[in-house]
Amino acid sequence: MGLDLGLWHESIYAVGPGISTLLNSLQIFFLAFIAFLWFGEKQTKLQLFSLVLASIGVALIASPEFAHNSSALWGFVSGILSGAFLAVSMSFVRRTHEVADVAIFPMMTLVGVGGTLALLPLMLMFDVGKIMPTTLPEWGWILVYGAVMQCMAWGLIAYSIPKITLSLTGLLLLTEPVATLIIDYFWLDKPINAMQWGGAFLVMFAIYLGSPRKG
């Protein structure tokens, strides 16, 4: 989890929150592979097709960034790698629930501590003197980020993982980059062209196709 968040933030610095979240959402491919290899989850043809559609949608949203951003390459590499580490962390959460009935809050506390320990050597190596916030607003945003992202959001994700398939978990999390794009456009004034909006709708359609049907 620590490496996932660290690389995701590197990608945010390079290409912005919308694009970086889209790249992080490529975890669906890593999750599908892990689900097949480790959990024996077989993918239907429709689910595999939905993964292809989702990848096309992500590409449509992200590709214009290369035209005007010199940091796009590192942003894309770090964003995709963050998705890989996210998939691994989600898989271990799933495996933990299979082995023992672990309460959400203690488990997420251990995940947070483990992530901190994993990043500590890298922080000391690359960010000495810049680790802690220096102003009250910075402390405030860190607290908000920790409460909303790490406690509430990841608590809900960890709660849902043992209740649905790992592949479906990954597909449902694709709503995150679409929501981020909307926030980028309406709140952060990021220009988003028609091709990118088309990619966003394609991602949502892929989520619909990949969702299980009753009956």
Convert the pLDDT of each residue in 108-123 to its tens digit.
Answer: 777 777 777 877 887 7
Q: How many CB atoms are closer than 10 A to CB 164?
A: 13
Query: Would the CA dihedral through 155, 161, 167, 171 be positive or negative?
Result: negative
Contact (CB, 8 A) for 60 and 197: no
The 10s digit of each residue's pLDDT in 169-189 is 666 777 777 788 788 888 888
Q: 8 falls in which pLDDT band (50, 70, 90)? A: confident
pTM of the model: 0.72
pLDDT for the residue 5: 81
pLDDT for the residue 170: 64
Torsion of CA 87, 90, 96, 99, to 10 degrees: -60
Task: Determine the average pLDDT of the residues in 138-155.
Answer: 79
Of residues 213 and 59, more confidence is placed in: 59
CA distances (Å), origin 128, targets 114, 116, 121, 137: 20, 15, 10, 21
pLDDT at 214 over 70: no
The 10s digit of each residue's pLDDT in 38-70 is 777 777 788 788 888 888 888 888 788 777 788
> Average pLDDT, whole number, for the chain?
79
For 213, the 3-state DSSP assignment is coil
Q: 91 falls in which pLDDT band (50, 70, 90)? A: confident
Torsion of CA 140, 142, 143, 149, to 10 degrees: 140
Contact (CB, 8 A) for 184 and 190: yes
Q: What percent of the chain has pLDDT over 90?
A: 3
Instruction: For residue 33, give both structure tokens.
Output: 């592979």
pLDDT for the residue 81: 92
